[in-house]
Amino acid sequence: MSNKKNTSKNDNAAADPQGFRGGLTNYGDAGFSLFLRKAFIKGAGYTDSALDRPVIGIANTGSSYNPCHGNMPQLIEAVKRGIMLAGGLPMDFPTISIGESFAQPTSMYLRNLMSMDTEEMIRAQPMDAIVMIGGCDKTVPAQLMGAASAGLPSIQLITGAMLTGSHRGEVVGACTDCRRYWGRYRAEEIDTAEIDEVNNRLVASVGTCSVMGTASTMACIAEALGMTVPGGASPPAVTSDRMRVAEDTGAQAVRMALDGLTIDKILTPAAFRNAMVVLLAIGGSTNGIVHLAAIAGRMGIKIDLEELDLMGRNTPVLVDLKPSGQHYMEHFHAAGGMGTLLRELKPLLALDALTVTGRTLGEEIERVGAPFKQDVIRPMSKPIYPQGGIAYLKGNLAPGGAIIKQSAASPVLMEHEGRAVVFENLEDLALRIDNLDLDVKADDILVLKNIGPLGGPGMPEAGYIPIPKKLALQGVKDIVRISDGRMSGTAFGTIVLHVMPESALGGPLACVQNGDRIRLSVERRELSLLIEETEMAARLASLAKPRPSAERGYRKLFLQSVTQADQGVDFDFLQANPTKDSS
């Protein structure tokens, strides 16, 4: 793919920056609209010379509720510096910010709202290009979704991962170690005093989770898509490396505005294929599939999950980071970050995909420095897991498909048949999971219903069902778990997720009963409920019910319009008409 400009109307508009003349407020008199706009902005002290420059918007997602974005003020200043050094005029503006552990009922519920906010503010305000600053799990996909729909030259800046902490001589970091220590606390292996001590050590600075959770996954995916400057995924939040990336991002945004390098030239089928390869090779979060599908859907591109699974059979996990491995994001950065990884993956990548620099991914890989000795990013000949981190399952329990993060599962459980122990919803789970009289054994299969896009609502990260207290006290560390929800990218275990259609839509998961036999075979990519077809049909008929609804507000819009996991849990009216696939 070349980076030559074509001559579409959109390209000509972008290549001739409009600055403050663009997108004038409609008063019925364009001259007066511009006169009024300049009069008000001059009240902030701007000169005519400043106002004649290309205008670069900066989406500010700082929030006291979002410590993952705690370095936002410093990032904005660095971006502004880069923009001004390159001859542009920076204009930062606020949008919704979603902090993962502070958003109720779940941050996923609000991702589409943030994407709409981002898109509409890009459209509403005069700018020739947009820098989007995000980090926490749902903010980066929301921004990429909104920018994809808005269509301007767009570039992503990642806030960066937090630093690691230390507990009694052991390196720890959020949030794989959060779950590991909490599991030990529930099993009464450590006491209240120690869990309180751990709580003070897990998050050593502002920034996103320090493991290959959803935030780090989306950072790597954004770079794989070509949407960040080279090396933009890995520098920790509180480092000079991150500040230099921010300055470079601002300068690159100006060049993109002047060159007319719009987002549709970057988010192509080839770019999404590269992102899928990287998702598999990093042992990335299962949430990455949902977000990729949503971003691609805004471009009219469909992510083929069966194709993803086929790619996974030839794409090993190379990055030794928790939860699939042992290290943390700061170690990934020290090992060369995405440059080192992309060089190793080069035979599997579409090298002609364009990036925000105007160069192709292949050209950027050639610019990566010489390799050096490190043990975080493995060579293809010595992977930490022989296949991609994620496998796609089908069967009568998941006719629309389901996924499992095989690289973080227990090998002994990936070929398993067991008795179903069923929880109807989150309330039922909370009520009974710690009951010592719960009828559950280590070889059973836990099933949680009604936590899908509609059932949650918002597909909460509750698929990481806790080990029942009864089993935890016996030393059980893993058990097969199945749901129509999601789990955090920091989680681990033999966990089947995104079962489609979801139970709230009357999918087969809804008819599973206590004592039913379920078969999981990752090797055969199978998820089956072992009952007769006639019995399945009879149960489903008895459970038929209307689509969930609400009386007002955003919840009403969400329940009316949200799609299933394979379409990204986006709103149906925000997706572009499908014209392409990712193959």
Average pLDDT over residues 312-317: 96
Residue 86 lies in a domain: yes
Q: Does 87 share its domain with 159?
A: yes
pLDDT of residue 6: 35
488: left (phi over 0), alpha (psi -120 to 50) or beta: beta
Hey, what are 74's tokens? Answer: 């410093």
Q: Does 59 share its domain with 120?
A: yes
Residue type, 543: L
Q: Does 155 share its domain with 212?
A: yes
Q: Where are the beta strands (DSSP E) in 37-112?
A: 55-60, 89-94
Residue 371 lies in a domain: no
13 pLDDT exceeds 50? no
CA separation (Å) from 543 to 140, 339, 477, 533, 546?
38, 51, 34, 15, 10
Q: Does 195 share its domain with 211?
A: no
Residue 321 lies in a domain: yes
pLDDT of residue 1: 31
**547 phi and psi angles, rounded to 5 deg:** -60, 135
% of the chain with per-residue pLDDT over 90 = 95
Residue 406 pLDDT class (50, 70, 90 cuts): very high
Q: Does 213 share its domain with 182?
A: no
40-87: pLDDT as tens digits: 999 999 999 999 999 999 999 999 999 999 999 999 999 999 999 999
What torsion, rounded to 10 degrees, do the Cα atoms 75, 574, 565, 346 define? -50
DSSP 38: H
CA separation (Å) from 448 to 9, 72, 108, 434, 443?
51, 38, 18, 15, 16
521-536: pLDDT as tens digits: 999 999 999 999 999 9
216-270: pLDDT as tens digits: 999 999 999 999 999 999 999 999 999 999 999 999 999 999 999 999 999 999 9
Residue 520 near residue 416 (C-beta atoms within 8 A): yes
Residue 3 lies in a domain: no
CA separation (Å) from 193 to 69, 181, 453?
30, 12, 38
Give the count of domains, the chain. 3
Residue 17 pLDDT class (50, 70, 90 cuts): confident
Q: Does 416 share its domain with 468?
A: yes
Residue 215 lies in a domain: yes
pLDDT of residue 577: 81
Q: Does 65 share its domain with 182?
A: no
Q: Does 174 share its domain with 210?
A: no
Q: How far apart are CA 250 and CA 157, in angstroms?
A: 9
pLDDT of residue 544: 84
Average pLDDT over residues 275-288: 97
| Best CA proximity match to 185, nearest among 199, 203, 169 | 199
Q: How far apart are CA 278 and CA 535, in angstroms?
A: 42
2 pLDDT exceeds 50? no
- Which helix (H) or strand (E) segment is 539 a member of? helix 533-542
Q: Does 504 share its domain with 404?
A: yes
**Could you give the 3-state DSSP secondary structure of residue 448?**
strand
370 pLDDT exceeds 70? yes
| Best CA proximity match to 282, nearest among 76, 15, 489 | 489
543 pLDDT exceeds 50? yes
Residue 144 lies in a domain: yes
Q: Measured in Å, how far apart are the chain's first and last C-alpha atoms?
A: 16
Single pTM value for the model: 0.95
Q: How far apart are CA 149 and CA 115, in angstroms?
A: 9
Hey, what are 543's tokens? Answer: 């459970």
CATH number at residue 401: 3.50.30.80
Residue 248 lies in a domain: yes
pLDDT of residue 16: 78
Q: How far apart are CA 337 and CA 319, in angstroms?
A: 10
pLDDT of residue 581: 57
- CA 258: distance to chain centroid? 30
Q: Does 458 share its domain with 362?
A: no
DSSP 227: -
Bridge partner residues of 444 (DSSP): none
pLDDT of residue 292: 98
305 pLDDT exceeds 70? yes
What torsion, rounded to 10 degrees, do the Cα atoms 5, 9, 14, 16 define? 90
Transcribe 346-388 into DSSP letters: GGGS-TT-B-TTSSBHHHHHHTSPPP---SSB--TTS-SBSS-
Q: Does 518 share its domain with 541?
A: yes
Residue 90 lies in a domain: yes
165 pLDDT exceeds 70? yes
Say how many residues make up the chain.
Answer: 583
**Mean of the per-residue pLDDT values of the chain:** 95
Give 502: exposed, middle or buried? Use CB within 10 Å, 0-12, 13-18, 19+.
buried
Residue carrying the six token digits 């990204």? 568
Q: Does 404 share its domain with 352?
A: no
Q: Which domain holds residue 185?
A: 165-199
